[in-house]
Structure 1
Amino acid sequence: MKNLPIIKGHQVYIGQMPDTPEFYEIYKSWLNSERVRFGIGDADYTAEEVAEMLNTWRDDPDDLTFCVYDSVSNQPIGDVCIRFGFEEYDNDCPETAIMIGRNFGQGNGYEAMRLLLNYAFNKLNYPQINLSVYEDNIPAVRLYEKLGFKKITLRNDKTNGRSEYVMMLTEEDWKKQNWDVKG
């Protein structure tokens, strides 16, 4: 199991994913919610499938999945990740993803992604980060654009045919836009 750092922001912080049956139930409820399923396009999950998925991520050295915690309550509200090998891109750079399971529309996702991207560019020294997002997931597309990601192409998701943008953010563009963020 990897020991991920705790990275603190104002509203949220990111850190190690809990490894408890109670958390698997919480995570399952997020994944199975209509709002999250619209964004990730997956089917219903069982608690056992969630436990297996989270343990696979924990054991994979190319997957850095952080839990997003509310800074006041210290309760988990979602996750953010940087990982290799999940999607097909025309480069050897990692991809990122976010899933907020509760406390939507309060800037938590934006802050969690800023913490993660700052870590990826300033500590891990990645030159570029990719992502794919469904074209009709307007809140996520807006979030990624606000963070500085640029749309590269529009393609069809191989699993369900939905249109998705491939987006990318370079370290150079991140640092130009986020000159005030400390490394």
Structure 2
Amino acid sequence: MRLNENILLLGKKVVLVPYTSEHVPRYHEWMKSEELQRLTASEPLTLEQEYSMQQSWRDDADKCTFIVLDAEKWQARLSPEESCMAGDVNLFLTDPGDPSLGEIEVMIAEPSCRGKGFGTEAVLMMMSYVTKLGLAKFEAKIGQGNEPSIRMFQKLHFEQVAVSSVFQEVTLRLTVTEQERQWLLEQTSHVEEKCYRDGLSGSH
């Protein structure tokens, strides 16, 4: 989605930046992990395929993706942005008949960044960002064995609506009522939106 290609969202624990070609080598290294392939239901890609995937993430109107950076490392500015990478958060517009519905997923790939609330803040920041674009319903599809992820989405007011024994996954859903919108605004009131390429981003 080109809409966010120059947007940087600065939170307390994480910074969300657009997925650029500079992030691909590190991302590719992560996705060699069998555990991450299983958790994300992904097939391993070649580096070349990963670069073309990054292009489609940027260009396709029905996908929005941000790379999740460790805010503490990023703000210290001691290392290139790629070394601050913690994971990613994605949104897909999955129903052409309902542009207000988005499927959201988050991956904290860097083991040292897990269990610190990075995923929670990244999902809140993504939801807050896209509700401004008119999204009002969110779905998350999570592998049945991925308890931490299921619990995280439940804490974010998602409710389980379906279980697929075929795909071994649980579908959780959140409809953003006025009350939920206010709650989301409160949870993300600290988030600053900046321009990604104006010298604020790590090594650029």
TM-score band w.r.t. shorter chain: 0.7 to 0.9
Amino acid paired to 1:128: K
Equivalent in the alignment of 1:170: 175
Counterpart in 2 of 1:97?
Answer: 105
| Conserved? CA contact 1:4–1:66, under 8 Å | no
Equivalent position of 2:72 in the other structure = 72
Distance 1:151 1:130 in 2: 10
Residue among 122, 128, 134 paired with 2:143: 134
Provide the aligned C-alpha RMSD in A: 2.3
Do the aligned partners of 2:140 and 2:173 also contact (CA within 8 Å) in 1? yes
Q: Would the alpha carbon gap of residues 124 and 51 (structure 1) be closer, same or farther in structure 2, given more than 3 Å must change?
A: same
Over 3 Å counting, the alpha-carbon distance change for 1:147 and 1:68 in structure 2 is same
After TM superposition, the structure 1 = structure 2 runs for residues 1-183 of structure 1, keeping only pairs within 5 Å, are 2=2, 3-20=5-22, 23-74=23-74, 75-85=84-94, 92=99, 93-102=101-110, 103-121=113-131, 123-156=132-165, 161-172=166-177, 174-175=180-181, 177-178=183-184, 180-181=186-187, 182=189
Residue 134 to residue 91, structure 1, CA distance change in 2 (3 Å)? farther
Q: Which runs of 5+ in 2 are unaligned?
A: 75-83, 192-204
Greater relative CO, 1 or 2 (CA 8 Å, sep 6+) = 2
Q: Which string of whole-angstrom CA distances, capped at 9 and with x for unpartnered residues, describes residues 120-158 of structure 1?
A: 22x1131111121111111111111111111101114xx
User: Any conservation in 2 of the 1:80–1:112 contact (CA below 8 Å)?
Assistant: yes
Q: Give the deviation of 1:43 after TM superposition.
A: 2.6
The number of aligned residues is 174
CA-CA distance at 1:14 after TM superposition: 0.6
Structure 2: how far apart are the matches of 1:72 and 1:8? 11
Q: Percent of aligned pairs with the same residue?
A: 24
- Superposed displacement of residue 166, structure 1: 1.3
Closer/same/farther in 2, CA of residues 135 and 73 from structure 1, 3 Å limit: same
**How far off is 1:83 after superposition?**
1.6
| Greater per-residue helix proportion | 2
